[in-house]
């Protein structure tokens, strides 16, 4: 097993496991069908981004999902794809817009989302 293969395996079976670090979210591609996938969610406090100072405060989060057709997604559209998860664990899930791809690799995506 190569180091890269081991990293991909750890991403899927440890970090993005709902039994370990991840939570299940619903990912809906623009014009497509929703599906449930695991994600690591880093929830931010309420605030405004510097470029949005004249606008109302946004709620932001970063999510990490797998770059995989079965357990994640292989394409991201920042002008229409949405994810659905609770702002705080235990709350009702809400829709979040994907606003930016922060990082991408062969194994995962790190995305900025807001509502």
**pLDDT tens track for 56-75:** 556 889 999 999 999 999 99
Distance of CA 31 to the CA centre of its chain: 18
> What gap in Å lies between CA 16 and CA 58, rounded to an integer?
26
Q: What percent of the chain has pLDDT over 90?
A: 60
Q: How far apart are CA 76 and CA 98, in angstroms?
A: 8
pLDDT above 70 for 14: yes
d(Cα 60, Cα 42) in Å, to the nearest integer?
9
User: pTM for the complete prediction?
Assistant: 0.81
Q: Contact 104/111 with Cβ under 8 angstroms?
A: no
Count of domains forming the chain: 1
Give me the domain span that covers residue 51.
3-114
Question: What is the pLDDT averaged over residues 34-41?
Answer: 96
Q: What is the pLDDT of residue 4?
A: 73
Residue where the block lists tokens 């996938």: 37
């Amino acid at each position: 097993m190569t180091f890269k293969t081991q990293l991909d395996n750890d991403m899927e079976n440890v970090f993005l496991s709902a039994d370990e670090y991840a939570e299940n979210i619903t990912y809906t591609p623009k014009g497509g069908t929703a599906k449930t996938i695991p994600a690591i969610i880093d929830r931010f406090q309420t605030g405004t981004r510097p470029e949005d100072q004249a606008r109302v405060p946004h709620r932001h989060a970063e999510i990490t999902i797998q770059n995989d057709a079965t357990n994640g997604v292989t394409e991201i559209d920042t002008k229409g794809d949405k994810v659905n998860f609770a702002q705080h664990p235990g709350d009702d899930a809400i829709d979040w817009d994907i606003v930016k791809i922060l990082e991408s690799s062969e194994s995962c995506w790190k995305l900025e989302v807001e509502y």
